[in-house]
Homo-oligomer: A and B are copies of this chain.
């Protein structure tokens, strides 16, 4: 069964694994590989594009295909809506809106959006619960200029997360991972010591350069983000 792109991909990947093609090396041209493996060039192209998407090979017009001299591990994470994440774990989902205040954006939000001046925003603080226990605390700012309808949405039962994702899709998004201390802000929420390290995912979204929302999602102590490659 040599005549499908996945087996071509696996064959090329195996050669790289065996160091037949080593980092920095140039691979045979698509046409040659096609002739060697007895398939059409388009099949090799499909296989190679998959390998290129995974960062296993690099392709350049005229330059050919090569194994990167400095290989990288390309990891892909799916960040779901928090409710889906909790339900996928087989736990019950709970949601508490702690605060909902219109306010001008503070400096760190203004700069996250790349704005030159503060804008009117809606500030939300909410807690997501898994089996009644604090799972993720979110601190969110929503740009009222871009999303005025949010004023009329009841956010005490439906999380802003969910409303936005279904009503205000974004065209651009930055994601930032880092570690922080629970401190006096999050310590009480998770009923933990102020020195407890917490994992933070910060996401900022735009639609055609107009700011939508910026969220800090602070995960409960011990939270890990996991993915498989290959």
Which residues does A use to contact B, with CB under 8 Å? 13, 16-17, 19, 22-23, 53, 55, 70-81, 84, 165-167, 169-181, 195-200, 203, 207, 222-230
Overall SS of chain A's interface = strand
A195 to B183, CA, bound (A): 11
The answer on a CB contact under 8 Å between B175 and A227 is yes
The answer on a CB contact under 8 Å between B76 and A72 is no
Can you list 13 pairs linking A and B with CB atoms under 8 Å apart? A70-B80, A71-B81, A72-B78, A72-B81, A74-B76, A74-B77, A76-B76, A77-B77, A172-B230, A173-B229, A177-B199, A178-B223, A179-B179
What 17 additional pairs, Cβ within 8 angstroms, besides A74-B76, A195-B195?
A23-B166, A71-B81, A71-B166, A72-B79, A72-B84, A171-B230, A172-B228, A174-B228, A175-B226, A175-B227, A175-B229, A176-B224, A176-B225, A176-B226, A179-B180, A181-B195, A181-B196
The answer on a CB contact under 8 Å between B169 and A203 is no
Expressed in whole angstroms, the minimum distance between the Cβ of A205 and any Cβ of chain B is 8
Contact of A197 (CB < 8 Å), options: B72, B76, B198? B198
User: Given A197-B181, A224-B178, A74 and B78 touching (CB < 8 A)?
Assistant: yes
Chain B residues closer than 8 Å to A23, beta-carbon distance: 165-166
The answer on a CB contact under 8 Å between A171 and B17 is yes
Chain B residues closer than 8 Å to A203, beta-carbon distance: 73
The list of the 5 closest CB pairs from A to B, nearest first, reads A179-B179, A197-B197, A179-B197, A195-B195, A173-B229
Chain B residues closer than 8 Å to A19, beta-carbon distance: 167, 169
Chain B residues closer than 8 Å to A195, beta-carbon distance: 181, 195
A172 to B230, CA, bound (A): 5
A207 to B225, CA, bound (A): 23
The answer on a CB contact under 8 Å between A199 and B178 is yes
Chain B residues closer than 8 Å to A167, beta-carbon distance: 19
A80 to B76, CA, bound (A): 14
